[in-house]
């Protein structure tokens, strides 16, 4: 999945080449590229390139949207130049790629954008931005070197308006649905002896990459109405955790309100983002569409105020991920989870989940697997060259070393599954449950240690207070990227983060400072880094490509109508798992593999359970969460493990004729040292669970926030460790177990260790609800 600019940094291997043109408005001769969409970019440099260059971006526009350029071929840490129209003028910004999210403003006062007036304008059909990028040739990971010969330049554009368009540093961007790609540029062809004359036309701009924080929030409404309805339980976030907890709480007969900031997703829930070829399924229903959601006609499903990708839609991450359903192995819990959360404690909760939502390695109802050349090729390689054995990942979750499997997917009946399909209908069947969409949870309203309700914000910005019944509870299920924001806004977290909220641009009514609770919210952040390895494979000569899924044949449409065919499958074709032992502990790896073109195969290698890199999530003055410390590959032990694993795969491939590395010069060290990874978007740990309130955890073993009487967190943010694979399955297991604990706590059914008392477990398998009648969601995960 590729949001704006995260795709820009991907080197395509084969890309369009640039050519020269002279701009009629400025007289500048550029070396550049024009795409068939109408997007055009040109560059000019001095005869001896140094630190500056002149650029020109021409973007088709009717007064909205944006255009963007990336200056390197890397996914993370690349310098970006983004421009967009605003009230008849052009606003521009320097940004830095950070992954699957709107890029943050780049902070370095030595780099600036200085516009050239004659080449900067907005008319009825186009926006043109011509500029001197001063200090932009850095020669490091941000940008190209002045001595470079050939460059790869990425580009993207959207027709959709940016948020806060008047602020160069505070604007945020939607996805590049109008076009994206990359092209090659020979730097010597862009050299000109007229450079100094052309550059003198630029005017000094305020568009610099400084450290000054700019407020761009327009949320100034501090008046909130009070809802007439009250509830026993209010759940913030209708992702996988929120839906499961809400349904299980509704089974008790208590009144339950589930709040979701996004809209409906599947057709059955009222979603209407239907595919072109079937008016009764949405883009979220169709398994094969999961790799193409960021280029679909509707991209409203993604949050815009979080540090990285998260699903703001009914179902959260389970609606925007690539459907990988990796049942956790026992040591995923046994290694770092506290008492009451070991596998022996949670196994019955897992059984309850799997009975409703089991996952499958065969999603097509006709019992056939489609487009299997990649599986056949990789099966031969991993069995013969690597010595791996085949398992069924659903049936053998503990087999995670030197094994491969058909991909385990969260699919049922030929459709995307998940709690929206397997739990929500049960909740909707009872009168004591209510789901409210397009409603963002802003904060928990506190009276000292007691939560009395929540303040929410509608899609129009209107605020409302929804109160709890006496004895009720609030459960936060916004995911690792968003639950911390609600806690900061509620006066819970590190003092410096709450102070940022206090001094920020968003109207937040915080508790008195002597009621702030200092907990390590936002710390202990973990994620899976993913390294993409590409290989030549002559045995693959009839693979399906993107158009087979976005514009399918009538044959495949007819098969899908029967719950079968390639449209009923997700995008992976082969999965493997293994581990690496060292003096620094055991680290696990996962591989998800596919073929996107004849003659090639791609391995996405994840570093998973056992990694030691961590980061920190904070909040900015506009109320958006942000990385203050990146969580990827920041320990030597993690780097050494990945280097070793990549080299092991490369060595096996070089000694085999089955698959051949597409770049013979690559090594594990060259890939790792270049930070050539993408984020897994499987974030955990920002409200970590713990046994004692000693400053190292945020919630207790009942998932209740330390220092609070009735505020709970149930989502990926409480997880103290990463699992061996993608996170959605373990998030659901944890939600089942947490729901049992919350119900047992309310009824006195917990023993002295915090475990559910034997015989008092509140749910049985296949339980039908007893009574007739967000915030952001869990983070995106493949």
CA–CA distances in Å: residue 238 to residues 241, 244, 492: 7, 9, 22
Q: What is the pLDDT of residues 695-706, one digit of tens each?
A: 999 999 999 999
Of 300, 694, 326, 698, give the one whose Cα is nearest residue 480.
Answer: 698
Predicted local confidence at residue 423, as pLDDT: 98
Residues 781 and 319: their CA atoms lie apart, in Å, by 10
Q: Where are the alpha helices (DSSP H) in 251-368?
A: 317-320, 331-334, 343-356
Q: Are residues 464 and 260 in contact, defined by beta-carbon separation less than 8 angstroms? A: no
Question: pLDDT tens digits, residue range 104-137?
Answer: 778 777 899 999 999 999 988 899 999 999 999 9
Angle formed by the axes of helices 240-250 and 728-747, to 10°? 30
Indicate which residue of 528, 682, 719, 737 is catalytic.
682
Structure tokens at 319: 């609606």
Query: What number of other Cβ atoms are within 10 A of residue 16's Cβ?
Result: 16
Whether 455 shows a pLDDT value over 60: the answer reads yes
Question: Can you give the three-state secondary structure of 574-591, one letter per residue?
Answer: EEEEEEEEECCEEEEEEE
Cα 157 from chain centroid?
A: 20
Closest CA to 715 of 693, 682, 743: 682
What phi, psi does 52 have (nearest 5°)?
Answer: -115, 155
Q: What pLDDT is attached to residue 73? A: 58
Name residue 454's beta-bridge partners. 444, 466
Mean pLDDT confidence for 176-183: 76
Encode burial over 541-572: b for 16+ CB neighbours within 10 A, e otherwise.
eebbeeeebbebeeebeebbeebbbbbbbbbb
What is the structure's pLDDT at 150?
A: 84
Task: Give yes or no for a contact between 234 and 260, defined as CB atoms under 8 angstroms apart.
Answer: no
Residue 378's SS3 state is helix
- Say whether pLDDT at 4 is over 50: no
Q: What's the average model confidence in pLDDT over 393-416?
A: 98
Q: Interior CA angle at 347 toward 331 and 761, to 5°?
A: 145
Strand partners, 67: 83, 157
Q: Residue 15: which pLDDT band, with cuts at 50, 70 and 90? A: very low
DSSP 203-235: ---SEEE-S------------EEEEEEEEEEEE
Three-state DSSP string of 275-298: ECCEEEEECCCCHHHHHCHHHCCC
Residue 220 pLDDT more than 50? no
Is the pLDDT at 13 greater than 50? The verdict is no
- DSSP, residue by residue, 590-650: EEEEE-SSTTEEEEEEEE-TT----BEEEE-TTS-EEEEE--SS-SHHHHHHHHHHHHHHH
| Distance of alpha carbon 206 from alpha carbon 208, whole angstroms | 6
Pairing of strands 150-158, 66-70: antiparallel
| Ranges 282-286, 359-363, 483-487, 771-775: which has the least confidence | 771-775
φ, ψ dihedrals at 745, nearest 5°: -60, -40
Which two structure tokens, joined as six digits, stand for 360?
């499958």
Question: Which residues, in sequence order, are CB contacts of 761 under 8 Å at separation 6+?
Answer: 348, 740, 744
Rounded distance between C-alpha atoms, residue 619 and residue 482, angstroms: 10
Task: Assess contact for 760 and 744: CB atoms under 8 A.
Answer: yes
Whether the pLDDT of residue 361 is over 50: the answer is yes
Please tell me the distance from the alpha carbon of residue 676 to that of residue 669, in angstroms, as a whole number.
10
In this structure, what token pair is assigned to residue 709? 């009487």
pLDDT digits (tens, 9 = 90+) for 81-96: 999 998 888 999 998 8
* Model confidence band, residue 302 (pLDDT cutoffs 50, 70, 90): confident
At 388 the pLDDT is 98
Pick from 765, 470, 504: which is nearest to 619 by CA? 504
Cα–Cα distance measured from residue 18 to residue 40, given in angstroms and rounded to the nearest whole number: 10
In this structure, are residues 701 and 691 in contact, taking their beta carbons and an 8 Å threshold? yes
- Alpha-carbon dihedral angle through residues 673, 675, 677, 683, given to the nearest 10 degrees: 120
pLDDT of residue 596: 86
Its sign, for the CA torsion 525, 528, 531, 534, is: negative
Which of 38-42, 264-268, 371-375 has the least mean pLDDT?
Answer: 38-42
Residue 670 sits at φ, ψ, to 5 deg, of -65, -35
Flag whether pLDDT at 517 surpasses 50. yes
Tokens of 623: 């109320």
Structure tokens of 208? 């610099």
- Which pLDDT value is given to residue 74? 56
Instruction: Copy the structure tokens of residue 603.
Output: 């391995």
Give the Cα separation of 397 and 330 in Å (integer).
Answer: 8
Mean pLDDT for the stretch of residues 287-292: 94
Share of the chain above pLDDT 70, in %: 89
Which residues have CB under 8 Å from 518's CB, separation 6+? 493, 494, 495
Q: Lowest mean pLDDT: which of 128-132, 305-309, 409-413, 607-611?
A: 305-309
**Residues comprising the chain, all counted:** 782
The two tokens of residue 1 are: 């999945």
Q: Average model confidence (pLDDT) for the chain?
A: 89
C-alpha–C-alpha distance, residues 482 and 237, integer Å = 9
The SS3 assignment for 540 reads: coil
Of the candidates 206, 54, 67, 205, which has an alpha carbon nearest to the alpha carbon of residue 128? 67
User: For residue 499, is pLDDT > 50?
Assistant: yes
Return phi, psi of residue 275, to 5°.
-80, 160
Q: 580 forms bridges with which residues in the sheet?
A: 587
User: Does residue 488 sit in helix, strand or coil?
Assistant: helix
Q: Is the pLDDT of residue 8 over 90?
A: no
Q: Is 419 helix (H, G, I), strand (E, B) or coil?
A: helix
Token pair listed for 301: 């499903």
User: What confidence tier does 207 reach under pLDDT thresholds 50, 70, 90?
Assistant: very low
Q: Are 153 and 182 in contact (CB under 8 A)?
A: yes
| C-alpha span between 193 and 47 (Å, rounded) | 6
Q: Is 245 within 8 Å of 251 (Cβ atoms)?
A: no
Taking only the tens place, the pLDDT of each residue in 28-52 is 999 998 888 889 999 999 999 999 9
Mind listing the domains of the chain with CATH numbers? 16-209 (2.60.40.1210), 357-411+525-679 (3.30.410.10)
**Rounded Cα–Cα distance for residues 694 and 516 (Å):** 16
Average pLDDT of span 503-527: 95
Which residues does 217 contact at the CB level (< 8 Å), separation at least 6? 164, 170, 504, 505, 506, 621, 622, 623
Instruction: Reply yes or no on whether 737 is catalytic.
Output: no
Residue 516 scores a pLDDT above 60: yes
CA trace torsion 647, 650, 651, 655 (10° rounding): 180
Neighbours of 354 (CB within 10 A): 19
Q: How confident is the model over 142-150, as a mean pLDDT? A: 88
CA dist 283 and 320 (Å) reads 10
Q: Are 628 and 567 in contact (CB under 8 A)?
A: no
Which string of b and e fits 229-247 if b means at least 16 CB within 10 Å?
Answer: ebbbbbbbbbbbbbbbbbb
Pick the residue with more confidence: 86 or 253? 253
Say how far apart CA 28 and CA 197 lie, in whole Å.
9
Using CA atoms, how far residue 439 sits from 238, 442, 461, in Å, is 11, 9, 10
pLDDT for position 213: 42
Pairing of strands 224-236, 256-259: parallel
CB 689 within 8 A of CB 718: yes
Q: Averaged over 322-344, what is the pLDDT? A: 98
Confidence (pLDDT) at 582: 85
What pLDDT digit, counting tens, does each position of 602-643 carry?
Answer: 999 999 999 999 999 999 988 999 999 999 999 999 999 999
Say what the pLDDT of residue 63 is.
79
Eight-class DSSP state of 118: G
Confidence check: pLDDT of 750 > 70: no
Q: Which of 567, 550, 571 is nearest to 559 (CA)?
A: 567
Prediction pTM value: 0.80
Separation CA 191–CA 31 (nearest Å): 9
Residue with tokens 């044959």: 555
Residue 113: its H or E element: strand 108-115
């Amino acid at each position: 999945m590729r949001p704006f600019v995260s795709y820009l940094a991907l080197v395509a291997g084969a890309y369009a080449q640039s050519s020269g043109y002279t701009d009629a408005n400025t007289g500048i001769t550029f070396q550049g590229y024009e795409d068939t969409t109408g997007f055009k970019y040109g560059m000019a440099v001095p005869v001896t390139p140094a630190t500056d260059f002149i650029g020109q971006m021409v973007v088709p526009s009717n007064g909205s949207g944006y255009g963007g350029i990336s200056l390197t071929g890397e996914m993370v840490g690349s310098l970006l130049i983004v421009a967009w129209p605003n009230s008849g003028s052009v606003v521009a910004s320097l940004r830095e790629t950070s992954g699957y999210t709107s890029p943050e403003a780049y902070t370095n006062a030595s780099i600036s954008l200085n516009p050239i007036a004659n080449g900067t304008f907005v008319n009825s059909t186009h926006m043109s931005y011509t500029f001197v990028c001063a200090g932009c040739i850095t020669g490091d990971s941000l940008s190209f070197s002045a001595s470079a010969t050939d460059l790869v330049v990425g580009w993207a554009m959207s027709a959709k308006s940016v948020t806060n368009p008047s602020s160069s540093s505070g604007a945020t961007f939607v996805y590049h649905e109008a076009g994206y790609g990359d092209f090659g540029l020979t730097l010597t062809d862009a050299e000109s002896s007229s450079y100094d004359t052309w550059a003198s036309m630029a005017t000094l701009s305020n568009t610099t990459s400084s450290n000054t924080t700019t407020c761009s929030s327009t949320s100034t409404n501090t008046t909130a109405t009070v809802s007439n309805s009250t509830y026993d339980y209010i759940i913030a976030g209708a992702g996988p955790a929120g839906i499961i907890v809400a349904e299980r709480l509704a089974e008790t007969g208590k009144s339950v309100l589930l709040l979701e900031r996004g809209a409906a997703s599947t057709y059955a829930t009222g979603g209407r983002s239907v595919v072109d070829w079937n008016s009764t399924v949405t883009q979220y229903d169709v398994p094969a569409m999961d790799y193409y959601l960021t280029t679909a006609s509707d991209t409203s499903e993604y949050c815009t105020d979080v540090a990285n990708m998260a699903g703001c839609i009914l179902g959260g991450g389970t609606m925007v991920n690539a459907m990988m359903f990796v049942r956790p192995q026992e040591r995923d819990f046994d290694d770092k989870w506290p008492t009451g959360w070991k596998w022996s404690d949670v196994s019955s909760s897992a059984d309850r989940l799997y009975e409703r939502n089991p996952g499958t390695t065969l999603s097509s109802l006709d019992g056939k697997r489609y487009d299997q050349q990649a599986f056949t090729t990789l099966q031969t390689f991993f069995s013969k060259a690597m010595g791996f054995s085949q398992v069924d990942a659903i049936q053998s979750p503990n087999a995670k070393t030197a094994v491969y499997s058909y991909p385990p997917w969260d699919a049922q009946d030929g459709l995307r599954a998940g709690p929206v399909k397997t739990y929500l209908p049960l909740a909707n069947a009872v009168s004591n449950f209510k789901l409210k969409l397009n409603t963002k949870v802003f904060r928990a309203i506190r009276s000292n240690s007691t939560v009395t309700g929540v303040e929410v914000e509608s899609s129009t910005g209107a605020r409302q207070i929804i109160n709890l019944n006496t004895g009720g509870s609030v459960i936060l299920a916004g995911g690792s990227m968003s639950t911390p924001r609600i806690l900061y806004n509620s006066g819970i977290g590190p003092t410096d983060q709450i102070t940022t909220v206090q001094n920020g641009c968003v109207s937040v009514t915080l508790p008195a400072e002597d009621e702030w609770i200092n907990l390590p919210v936002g710390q202990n952040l973990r994620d899976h880094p993913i390294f993409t390895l590409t290989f030549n494979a002559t045995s693959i000569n009839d693979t399906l490509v993107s158009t087979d899924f976005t514009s399918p044949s009538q044959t495949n449409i007819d098969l899908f109508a029967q719950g079968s065919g390639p449209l009923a499958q997700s995008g992976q074709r082969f999965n493997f798992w293994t581990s690496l032992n060292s003096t620094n502990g055991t680290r696990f790896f996962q591989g998800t593999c596919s073929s996107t073109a004849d003659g090639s195969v791609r391995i996405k290698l994840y570093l998973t359970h056992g990694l030691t890199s961590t980061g920190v999530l904070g909040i900015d003055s506009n109320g958006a969460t942000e990385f203050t410390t990146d969580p990827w590959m920041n320990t030597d032990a993690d780097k050494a493990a990945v280097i070793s694993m990549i080299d092991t795969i490369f060595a096996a491939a070089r000694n085999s004729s089955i698959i051949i590395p597409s770049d013979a010069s690559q090594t594990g060290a060259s890939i790792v040292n270049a930070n050539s990874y993408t984020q897994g978007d499987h974030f955990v740990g920002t409200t970590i669970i713990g046994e004692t309130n000693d400053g190292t955890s945020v919630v207790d073993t009942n998932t209740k926030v330390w220092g609070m009487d009735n505020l709970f967190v149930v989502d990926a943010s409480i997880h103290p460790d990463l699992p061996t694979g993608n996170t959605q399955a373990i998030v659901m297991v944890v939600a089942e177990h947490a729901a049992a604990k919350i119900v047992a706590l309310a009824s006195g059914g917990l023993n002295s260790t915090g475990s559910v008392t034997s015989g008092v477990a509140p749910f049985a398998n296949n339980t039908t609800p007893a009574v007739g009648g967000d915030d952001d969601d869990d983070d995106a995960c493949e």
